[in-house]
Structure 1
Amino acid sequence: MSFDLDTKLICDDLESSDHRKRGATLLKLRELCEQAPDTVSTDAVAADFDELYLHLLKCYGDRFESVRDRAVLAVTAFLERLPPLDFHLLNVVSTLAERMGQTETVEPSEEIRLLYIEQLHLMLRKYALMGNVGVFRECYPEVVKVLIKSIKDAYAAVQREGCATLVQLARVADTMEIRPYTESLAVALYGMLNHRHSAARISAVEAIGRVSLHLDASGEGMRRLLAEVSPLLMDSMPLVRRECGQMGVLMLLELPDRYSYFERILPLVLCCLKDDSPEVLSHIRPLWEQCGRLYYDENEAELSQQEICDLPVENYPAGVQRPTIGCRGLVQRSLRLLQLITRETSDWKDNVRLHSLKLLYQFILHAESAMTAKFFEIYPDVSHACCDSEPEVAAEAKKVADLMGRLLCYAAWINHGFDGLERNARESFLKCFYYMFTASLGGTYEHLQRLCKLLKCSDYSHTLKPGFQLYILKTLETVLDKSSKVTASIEELKELYEHVYVTAMKVMALSYSLNNEDTEDVNRGYVILKRLVQLEETTLAELHERWFALVLLDVENLDAALDENAEPVLLLYGLIHLAQIRSTYLPQLIEKIKIVFEHCCDTAQVRIFSILSIAALSWSTTVRVEREQSSQLLSNFTSEIVEPHLIWKAGAHGEAMRSMAMATLCALAQGAKDEAREVLPALAKHMPSLLEDRNVTTRHYAIKAMCYFQGMSVEALKPLAYATMQRMDDPSAGIRIIAATAVGKLRPVFKTDGEKEELEHEREMWEAFIMRAMDILLLYHESPEKDMQAAAQKSLIELAKLHPTSWEDRYQRALGLARRKDELVDLYAKMKIEDEAKKETD
């Protein structure tokens, strides 16, 4: 006896009806086998096993789990020491197939099923080490049944062990012998690809990679295999994605018909080269370079010639490692896959779109200039992705477009890029073109001019989309950057700058109008204007005076019933805000405004009038001409734009336009004080009715404007003066205060030539007004309204200085009627003190 045991006794014990005796015997047998010294020959162990194996294998079906467990462990202990005999192999595999290769689950214990598959794995390792795996060919059907059952097992550990066993079998099996079973094995493995445990998914991918080396490449099996694994490239676990990459590397290195499947295998590897996880990238990159070396060795004659002149482009992406020539050659022969990749950039799932763009980036990085021929195919899809609703996807599309601009042949893609912009005036195409054009080294004067003319047209510069506006301005910045590097004359550059100015102004105007404030786009536009100022060596004001008329030419289609939010109205509104009113283009601006007032809707007219009233405040600053010419321009502006709307018209619109006209006139009076002295008297005939208008806003601006009516005769000023005085009784407190202030500022121009009686009569008329005004002001001096009291006091002081006699008379009269005499006495004393101080100074 090799182990000093009686095999007959052991057999009897294994046949015992007492399961405890059977279990104890199996446990003791296992311990003896494991503890046997190395001096025991394998022949002796085999001899004992020949006598015991039938009883041991019978225990595999024992109804007690502990007996079955110990039986499997005992057989495993024997197999560890046995030589690879066909006889033992066939018997053990047959038993395993009975216990675990059936359609139904015969063995209920998950732990024992794991022991079964581990035992099969052990036999595979032993026979493989001894170079005798061919003995398995007779039992491939049973082995495959066991493997498929283990792969479909509900127990994750059994599944993983089944995958590991299959990997071992695939490593050593002969392809022709195992090929009939590969399809069924692969189908079983596909079910594990969605397993909730990442370790199970990793095991399944590893097994599928090994099985793929034996598949029949002429059928659909290979295509299905790659299609089943590809979704795991987007798995949430980095190690799963890494395993997919390793599978791709394995196929690129060992698949017999790999040249036929390069375009389908490459995505498995390339996706890992753009993975977010460093552990995936660092593991796959050296393996990918190994694939490149193999491809280079197999195609050295062709690639060695290409390597001689293979230099990277000047603006190669910073921080990006250039692939080896072998790796690039692998990709360049597989560009047919691009159509499939770009199709997925419009998938409804965010992660699919992101994954496809990352894959496209790697294709472009490897293909370099060879990708130029495919530009027309991928241009629309990349453009669409640049405007993706998911920020991460849009950012990846930007990287792809940037890389295309750097690596693709500029002369070959630029014209097609322009064609895409001309046919598709959309933000998406402009974004893609911007990234490419900015990243490229190319850009002739003709290209810059063509781009500027394209952006200047209404399809682009008249857009109301904020994102679109932003990229128009960004593109203009790129044009200015590249303009310093092109060969062009001063006149050509001036024409280019004109287009940039016109486009920038229109985009800025629309951006401001949409938000009623200086947005980021408006500020970016100002940066462009400042650069133009530097390039032209001028000022912003001169730039407006020189080129703004060109912008006005593009304000079209105003002769329609447009509302305040229509694009032409918004454009004109924003332009007036940006450039204000200037002498060089005022006639053209007046014509545009008159068209609005004639054809556009009420709301549009009011909106344009409102921005005019604001711009009018800066007249003296923006209209930089001689006084005489400025007065003439102001006269023309008021007569054509303002005065027609000062005349009373019925209806809410007429009322609103009167208010805006009066606001504009008031702004002009403040913004052009000197010119207003000459222009305002011609409008005096309208003021009395405006001062009594039912609209409080109109009255407010009208009474405010009265402060600037100067240089008029007594006869002309008298009706305005009395109308102003009446406003001190206005229902609006604000208007009363302004009226009290305005009365003190009215200064007529008395005649110096004529008959004495006529001259005296004129002064008497004005004195009569002054006395009446003083009476009312003295009355309001007792007002409980502090602001009104202060305004009345200020005007009384001014009038008393000019008309002391009238003041003495009115003071004495008011003293007897005043309720608060002490305040009036104090006012009188204050005036006396000021007069005496003035005399001493004189």
Structure 2
Amino acid sequence: MAAGDEHATSEVLRGLNRHLNCLNEDNKATRKRALEFIRKETVDKGLSSGVLQEVFSALLKPLLKCLTDPMERCRETAIAVLTKFIRCVPRPEEALPCLMLCLAQRYGEKEILEPAEELRLSAVEMLTLTVEVCGGHLAPYLNEMISILQRTIVDPFPDVKRESCRCTVNFAKCVPEHFHMQAESLVKPLMLTIAHQHSRVRVSVIEATGAVIQHGSGKNVDDVLSHLAQRLFDDSPQVRKAVTTVVGDWLLHMRDRYSYFHKLIPLLLSSINDEIPEIRLLAADLWRQVGAQWEKENEDDIKDKMDFLLNPPPHYPPGVERPGLGCRELVVRNLGRLIPAITHDVTDWLAPTRVRTSQLLSVLLLHAEDHNTQHLQPLLATFYRASIDTNTDVVNNCLAAAKLLGTFVPPPVFLKLLLEHVTTPYSSSHPWIPLMVLAAVLGGCSKPLIKPHLQQIADTLTQPDVCQEYQQVMYLEQLLACVDVLLHQCESDCGSVSLQLLQVLVTVQSLSREPELSEKALDSVQLLCKVQGLDSVMELHRRHMVQLLDWLSASVNTWSSYSPQRLQLHIIVMQSGPVIGEYLSQVMPLLYSCLQPNRDPEMRMSIFTMLAKLLLDANNTLDSQGHFRDESEKFLCDILLPNLVWQAGRTAAAVRTSALSCLLALLHGGAITPGQLLCREEKLCPRVLSALEEDSQLSRLLACRSLSAILRLIGASLHHEALNKIYPELLKCLDASSEEVRDVALQALGLWFSSLTDNYNPELCAPHLQLLFQQLLLHLDDPDSSVQDQVLEILKKGSSIHSALLKTEVEAVRDRQRTPVYCDQLLQHISSLPRLAPSQ
């Protein structure tokens, strides 16, 4: 030291002697003034660096002693003076022996002795400054530094935690060759703090963790990975960004990184799907650097691939940037170790974990490309497990990954497994899962690759165990999805499996109880027509009607109310329109077989209901070619009449009701001629008349309407004996509780009178007419005026048959009626008739 500096130093210290002595006074104000004077006369005075260094050496111990001063202001001033000295002196490392010992005693023990959190923060800031200015000189004080940081990292004051983490990062970088020996002891306090409520603290802890692991022994990676993985779901983007930066730095620079690639890669790749664009771009950039670095380090091993595998595989997903070779190779070489972890985490109890894992799955498959083939079975198992998740994001991400599988794995490979799983479902409670995955995988496969396997796929989908076994909406939706993806991927090539696809679509429509799903299936039928250039659904049915009916006929003898075939028949005949009339030779035996009286009652009811709809519009359905009329008489005798025979029980009554509705449709639809009806009248009318006595109001109503239709068609051709058997049953219906039944019965009676021709002898049948007139006159006095009006019109018709008899009966009851108005109107009408002989 120069003589001038020695003299200046002596002068400064001489001036400070008295104040140094005051530091030991009991009066706290005196100690405080002394410290402030020392600061004023030293660090604040602008002394030369040489003088300042000597003064600092002389003042260090007294100042360190002040760190234990009872007065907070004194401790604060002492820390401030020490900090300025450390910052200003040229050789701050000379103070380390005393400084580090003192700091370790005060801040590195089990219990921190400094109660003021602001002073603890100042002390740690001073320690950070010491690390910055002393650097490698701190190596001998590794134990002291670690003991301090262990305590301050878990300090209750958040700012102390953050500053401690900053200090840790700096210290690790300053003495890396020594730090690794004690780095492990900082892992526990850091992990205790990593979930702190303040996001800035979490960021600092993550950065410190990165430095500790980076410059540590490498043995503690497993201890921190799970904690870092949880921070990937942090609400704070800055925290997620910090994790991404740290993991990327490890992958690039950690000494033993090759041993941890399979654990670190998922963390970095997970950030590629982060919701914040900045984090996504950061992760992608770091990943490119990692891949490029690995590629350079392993250039000799992958030289052939670098030279020959430059072009992406055919049918690579459009709009997707292909990862670099190094990135792809890293994933390929670690995929076998990654998949078990993915399979585990994709069913984690936390939804965010499952979502992030399912996103990661797509990224991995995109990198692995055709190497996915080697891991197909565990990948499918993962898809199946993820597809039953209640979170739609997990399911959608899983299906997106499955689509990539279809892009890179050859169809013969994935179909061998998938089709087997479709026929033997992965889960009895979720049988649709293999179908869901199959649809997704096929969606990623190209048309040229699927085409050779269309027949195999379609044949599998039409197997009864696959197509007809389950009626859950989800199952049918996925069955429909498989057909739709084939139609969209293969288009016109689907013509070769048009029949099988139509069978599946017919089945979906028949089993679906959701109108929306049925509409979707019908849309798919129309798409099937479109890809084949057919004008309409009817044309499609015409092309395959023979095979469809053979398909149904093969099992018709085993049908029951639970059989899907009866529902399939309904869809086929209803959607075929006029085409069904071209194939009566196949349709009618089918109907005869399943409508025999000994077959399942509920099945017969549903088919009768279907037939009623068809027969009401017979000219555009069953009789579109005019051939059904040749079958109608046989149909009436062999199908309808046997099902109208009375049997005990509610189910039997319901069958008769449905048969009556079919009969009425046959009569109204014009599919049977009057001549054919007249030939079978003797068998038909008794069945219909007996139905008028059914308990069911609907049955009586249908029977009345059927009688009206019969009278309208062949009433004039009926013998008087047949006619006289009809009216008594109709009269009974006038006492029914149902207004609708009474109304239809009155209409039938009006038609009955209209059916009387010249061959009907009124004198011979006078007793019948008399009974009929008497009963109708009773209802002429009905409380309901509309009934009175109807009865009046009917009696006016009857007056032309035997006016004298009617006049006598009217006069006999006129005075007993509540109101004689209707009787007078009827008598007036009779008197206006021309005087003709009764026989006329």
TM-score interval for Structure 1 and Structure 2 normalised by the shorter chain: 0.7 to 0.9
Gap change, CA 1:674 and 1:661, over 3 Å in 2: closer
Which residue pairs with 2:16 in the alignment?
Answer: 7
Which residue pairs with 1:741 in the alignment?
Answer: 747
The TM-score normalised by the length of structure 2 is: 0.87
- Measured after TM superposition, the shift of residue 53 of structure 1 is 0.8
Distance 2:625 2:637 in 1: 20
State the Cα deviation string for residues 333-383 of structure 1 (Å, max 9, x = none): 321212211222122332222121111111122222332322222012113
Kept in 2, the 8 Å contact 1:317–1:406? The answer is yes
Gap change, CA 1:401 and 1:376, over 3 Å in 2: same
State the Cα deviation string for residues 315-346 of structure 1 (Å, max 9, x = none): 54455443333333332332121221122212
- Measured after TM superposition, the shift of residue 274 of structure 1 is 0.7
Residue identity in the other structure for 1:378:
L
Distance 2:170 2:231 in 1: 23
- Measured after TM superposition, the shift of residue 833 of structure 1 is 11
Gap change, CA 1:41 and 1:473, over 3 Å in 2: same
Distance 2:610 2:734 in 1: 30
Which residue pairs with 1:238 in the alignment?
Answer: 237
Gap change, CA 1:8 and 1:722, over 3 Å in 2: same
What SS is found at the alignment partner of 1:261? helix
Which residue pairs with 1:261 in the alignment?
Answer: 260
Aligned positions of 1:622-701 closer than 5 A:
622-627=621-626, 629-672=627-670, 674-675=672-673, 678-679=676-677, 681=681, 682-701=683-702
- Measured after TM superposition, the shift of residue 399 of structure 1 is 1.9
State the Cα deviation string for residues 544-592 of structure 1 (Å, max 9, x = none): 4554564563588887896x56756666666676668752543343255
Gap change, CA 1:625 and 1:195, over 3 Å in 2: same
Residue identity in the other structure for 1:298:
E
Which residue pairs with 1:113 in the alignment?
Answer: 120
Which residue pairs with 2:3 in the alignment?
Answer: none
State the Cα deviation string for residues 111-162 of structure 1 (Å, max 9, x = none): 22222211111111112xxxxx322111100000001111122222211111
State the Cα deviation string for residues 203-236 of structure 1 (Å, max 9, x = none): 121111111122334x4x2233323322222223
Which residue pairs with 1:29 in the alignment?
Answer: 38
Gap change, CA 1:146 and 1:811, over 3 Å in 2: farther
Distance 2:761 2:498 in 1: 62
**Structure 2: unaligned runs, 5 residues or longer:** 1-7, 835-840
- Measured after TM superposition, the shift of residue 82 of structure 1 is 1.6
Which residue pairs with 1:501 in the alignment?
Answer: 502
Kept in 1, the 8 Å contact 2:372–2:409? The answer is yes
**Structure 1: unaligned runs, 5 residues or longer:** 128-132, 487-492, 752-758, 836-842
Which residue pairs with 1:270 in the alignment?
Answer: 269
Distance 1:716 1:90 in 2: 131
Residue identity in the other structure for 1:404:
L
What SS is found at the alignment partner of 1:136? helix
Kept in 1, the 8 Å contact 2:194–2:205? The answer is yes
Gap change, CA 1:63 and 1:556, over 3 Å in 2: farther
Gap change, CA 1:707 and 1:805, over 3 Å in 2: closer
Distance 2:225 2:833 in 1: 102
Kept in 2, the 8 Å contact 1:560–1:599? The answer is no
What SS is found at the alignment partner of 1:234? coil
Gap change, CA 1:292 and 1:372, over 3 Å in 2: same
Distance 1:560 1:46 in 2: 107
- Measured after TM superposition, the shift of residue 202 of structure 1 is 1.6
Distance 2:332 2:310 in 1: 14
Residue identity in the other structure for 1:283:
L
Distance 1:834 1:353 in 2: 93
Which residue pairs with 1:383 in the alignment?
Answer: 384
Which residue pairs with 1:343 in the alignment?
Answer: 344
Residue identity in the other structure for 1:434:
A
State the Cα deviation string for residues 246-271 of structure 1 (Å, max 9, x = none): 11110111111222221111112101
Gap change, CA 1:268 and 1:541, over 3 Å in 2: closer
Percent identical pairs in the alignment equals 23
Kept in 1, the 8 Å contact 2:605–2:659? The answer is no
State the Cα deviation string for residues 378-416 of structure 1 (Å, max 9, x = none): 012113323321112112212222233334445543444
Gap change, CA 1:226 and 1:15, over 3 Å in 2: same
- Measured after TM superposition, the shift of residue 737 of structure 1 is 0.8
Is residue 186 from structure 1 mapped to residue 195 from structure 2 by the alignment? no
- Measured after TM superposition, the shift of residue 764 of structure 1 is 5.2
Gap change, CA 1:168 and 1:702, over 3 Å in 2: same
Kept in 1, the 8 Å contact 2:16–2:38? The answer is no
Which residue pairs with 2:139 in the alignment?
Answer: 137
Gap change, CA 1:36 and 1:295, over 3 Å in 2: farther
Kept in 2, the 8 Å contact 1:151–1:159? The answer is yes
- Measured after TM superposition, the shift of residue 107 of structure 1 is 2.0
Distance 1:637 1:788 in 2: 37
Residue identity in the other structure for 1:106:
L
Residue of 47, 64, 78 corresponding to 1:57: 64
Which residue pairs with 1:617 in the alignment?
Answer: 616
Kept in 2, the 8 Å contact 1:296–1:303? The answer is no
- Once the two structures are overlaid, the 10-residue window that deviates more, 651-660 or 261-270, is 651-660
Aligned positions of 1:152-163 closer than 5 A:
152-163=154-165
- Measured after TM superposition, the shift of residue 10 of structure 1 is 2.5
Is residue 524 from structure 1 mapped to residue 524 from structure 2 by the alignment? no
Kept in 1, the 8 Å contact 2:664–2:705? The answer is yes
Residue identity in the other structure for 1:266:
I
What SS is found at the alignment partner of 1:71? helix
- Once the two structures are overlaid, the 10-residue window that deviates more, 79-88 or 116-125, is 79-88
- Once the two structures are overlaid, the 10-residue window that deviates more, 101-110 or 759-768, is 759-768
Residue identity in the other structure for 2:138:
F
What SS is found at the alignment partner of 1:334? helix
Kept in 2, the 8 Å contact 1:245–1:284? The answer is yes
Gap change, CA 1:505 and 1:832, over 3 Å in 2: farther
Distance 1:433 1:825 in 2: 82
Distance 2:724 2:20 in 1: 140
Residue identity in the other structure for 1:326:
G
What SS is found at the alignment partner of 2:783? coil
What SS is found at the alignment partner of 1:180? coil
- Measured after TM superposition, the shift of residue 457 of structure 1 is 1.3
Distance 1:106 1:252 in 2: 40
Gap change, CA 1:155 and 1:522, over 3 Å in 2: same
- Once the two structures are overlaid, the 10-residue window that deviates more, 427-436 or 536-545, is 536-545
Which residue pairs with 1:589 in the alignment?
Answer: 590
- Measured after TM superposition, the shift of residue 706 of structure 1 is 0.7
Which residue pairs with 2:331 in the alignment?
Answer: 331
State the Cα deviation string for residues 723-745 of structure 1 (Å, max 9, x = none): 22332232322211100011122
Distance 1:235 1:243 in 2: 11
- Measured after TM superposition, the shift of residue 472 of structure 1 is 1.4
- Once the two structures are overlaid, the 10-residue window that deviates more, 19-28 or 463-472, is 19-28
Distance 1:828 1:349 in 2: 91
Which residue pairs with 2:399 in the alignment?
Answer: 398
- Measured after TM superposition, the shift of residue 620 of structure 1 is 3.6
Aligned positions of 1:432-443 closer than 5 A:
432-442=437-447, 443=449
Residue of 91, 99, 102 corresponding to 2:98: 91
- Once the two structures are overlaid, the 10-residue window that deviates more, 496-505 or 615-624, is 615-624
Residue identity in the other structure for 1:646:
L
Distance 1:805 1:98 in 2: 132
Aligned length: 800
- Measured after TM superposition, the shift of residue 650 of structure 1 is 2.0
